[in-house]
A and B are shown apart, each in its own frame.
Chain A
Amino acid sequence: DGGITQSPKYLFRKEGQNVTLSCEQNLNHDAMYWYRQDPGQGLRLIYYSQIVNDFQKGDIAEGYSVSREKKESFPLTVTSAQKNPTAFYLCASSRDRGNYGYTFGSGTRLTVV
């Protein structure tokens, strides 16, 4: 079955450390997205990529970095520069620039300890 896989499901990080969240899709979707979700808030766009080797900043890109070396993969690195990284992170993908909506992964909950 095609889908989008995020790993790990839960991640703990010490302050000052970088951490990378994985996102893989086998839907042959061109576009991929990273969102951050905090309690009581909507989904906020961190980065998105519409094609391999190209990506754009979303509304809250500071303290995050991404790469898109393969169509299937769009990893997100949470750097030590991100002041409040504890959150639920969602990866999504879409075809045709999202005209048919996004398919979401099951999320990674990152906790900074």
Chain B
Amino acid sequence: GQQLNQSPQSMFIQEGEDVSMNCTSSSIFNTWLWYKQDPGEGPVLLIALYKAGELTSNGRLTAQFGITRKDSFLNISASIPSDVGIYFCAGQRGNQFYFGTGTSLTVIP
């Protein structure tokens, strides 16, 4: 399958700090998605990106579709305890999405 490299693998931050994570690939993707997964639950879609260079916000979350179409980043501003979870990127090619390995975020109150 397609390889998406997501970094960092884990993050431990203080409440109120900003967070940045990214996803890179050697392949071009047509769509980038960012999901959040709470422990023991399924991933929930946070942001969808459809065009190279697109910058989209959803509350405290901001994501960008890289201009080369091979990468994407997600920023979370002013983190809060409920931001804890695993964040996955996903790139679409053809009829399938390929998922990154996830970034585990821990927010320390």
Taking beta carbons and an 8 Å cutoff, which residues of A are in contact with B? 6, 31, 35, 40-45, 48, 50, 58-59, 90, 92, 97-107, 109
Contacts and interface: CB of A to CB of B under 8 A. Distances in A.
B48 A42 contact: no
A42 B101 contact: yes
A106 B41 contact: yes
B43 to A, nearest CB: 5
Interface string B73-104: 00000000000000010101001110111100
A98 B1 contact: no
Given A45-B96, A106-B41, 11 more contacts: A42-B6, A43-B88, A92-B42, A100-B48, A101-B45, A101-B90, A101-B97, A104-B44, A106-B42, A107-B40, A109-B40
A42 B35 CA distance: 12
Contacts of A44: 1
A84 to B, nearest CB: 18
B51 to A, nearest CB: 13
14 contacts: A6-B42, A35-B99, A40-B9, A90-B42, A98-B92, A98-B95, A98-B96, A99-B92, A100-B48, A102-B45, A103-B45, A104-B43, A106-B40, A106-B42
A99 B29 CA distance: 12
Contacts of A109: 40
B47 to A, nearest CB: 10
Nearest to B44: A104
Most chain A CB within a 10 A radius of its CB, from B35, B90, B95: B95
Nearest 3 CB-CB pairings of A with B: A104-B42, A43-B99, A42-B101
B31 interface: yes
Contacts of B41: 106-107
Given A40-B101, A45-B1, A105 B48 contact: no
B78 to A, nearest CB: 26
Contacts of B4: 42
Contacts of B45: 101-103
Interface string B38-81: 00111111001000000000000000000000000000000000
